[in-house]
Amino acid sequence: MPVLNEKAYLERAVETVLAQEVDGPVELILALGPSTDGTTELARELARRHDQGHEVVLVDNPQADIPIGLNRAIRAARYPTIVRVDAHSELEPGYATRALATLSRVRAANVGGVMRADGRSPFQRAVARAYNSPIGLGGGAYHGGTQEGEAESAYLGVMRRDVLEEVGMFDESIRRGEDWELNLRIRRAGYRVWFDPALAVTYWPRESWTRLARQFSATGRWRGELVRRYGRGNSVRFFAPPALVVVLVLAAVVGVLQVSGILTGLWSAMAALVYLPVIAYVLLVVVVAIGPGGGTGWRDKLWTLAVLPTMHLSWGAGFLGGLIRGAHDTVDTSRLGDRNTPLP
């Protein structure tokens, strides 16, 4: 479990992991980044509290990067199966037992389930609804798939350690999308990545608009970097948000040219066709917001109207930046307060 500034969520996350009933020895390894909110102190207290029974092991992750923390935790691990967990999520009862059984039954290298986003505030609940909706993050099986089978990637993942070591573990040069890239290498090595909808993990999204925008911008930028590196290995669905951004920019340019009188007549009428996908997108967001997918009450629906475009446009703009210039040292600062670097 990589951990950074998760004081409000860590204790519950640890409890749901240690509550898993597994026929065999278990250890929980926390890779601690340089938190500033008291998370490290809480982690040490949890390790002391659980010094009997399940062992909680702490390893340092001063770089604060998720793949580095994951690799350090895996190297410190003693057992042949790695269950990746997250400090911002909670495992459903029976998750580990079911995942281990599926891993053996289908002879997979990695098994994952459904990310069930949830929220504690109107804004966070709006983000959760977007996560759970095909309109928000549609395409990935783990965002709401119901059919068990081979998959492109796995949310979190229950993995065979020998396969991880064979393919080189997590790529420490990738700061976002490291799970997708790992699963690509696993599949290219001839192993199965499997989706089991009976597995469920509760995920708590970002709690504010600015944090959400920063998270999705960084994620989109790294997806653009992954397209630069792996080309056709990326799903077509990843190109929808950047296409939306391009269409919006073109529509704005056409509007300026029309208002200024530079674009007139037949050319103006033809160029106006660029407004159609924009209108369709706006109508789609409005329909989702005012319908059951927008929650209950005007406050929930207004937040949905704000959240969906924020996710799409932040991700799409970040993608274009990553595709054109690369991700370089881009980091997700959404858990780092007002700071722009991953370290204090």
Distances (CA, A) of 160 to 57, 195, 225, 271, 308: 20, 15, 27, 54, 36
pLDDT at 233: 78
pLDDT for 138: 64
Per-residue pLDDT of the chain (344 residues; tens, 9 = 90+): 999 999 999 999 999 999 999 988 899 999 999 999 999 999 999 999 887 656 899 999 998 899 999 999 999 999 999 999 999 899 999 999 999 999 999 999 999 999 999 998 889 999 999 998 888 876 566 666 678 999 999 999 999 999 999 999 999 999 999 999 999 999 999 999 999 999 999 998 998 999 999 999 999 999 999 999 998 778 888 899 999 999 999 999 999 999 999 999 999 999 999 999 999 999 999 999 999 888 888 888 999 999 999 999 999 999 999 999 999 888 888 777 544 333 33
pLDDT of residue 165: 96
b or e along 224-234 (b: 16 or more beta carbons within 10 Å of the residue's beta carbon)?
bbbbebeeeeb
What's residue 140's pLDDT? 61
Answer whether 116's CB lies under 8 Å from 200's CB: yes
The pLDDT value given to residue 137? 75
Q: What is the pTM of this model?
A: 0.87
In angstroms, the CA 119 to CA 239 distance is: 28
**pLDDT in the model for residue 207:** 87
Q: List 149's β-bridge partners, or say none.
A: 195
Here the tokens at position 82 are 């790695």
Quick one: DSSP state of residue 198?
Answer: E
Q: Measured on CA atoms in the order 243, 244, 249, 250, is the torsion positive or negative? A: positive
Distance of CA 150 to the CA centre of its chain: 20
pLDDT at 328: 86
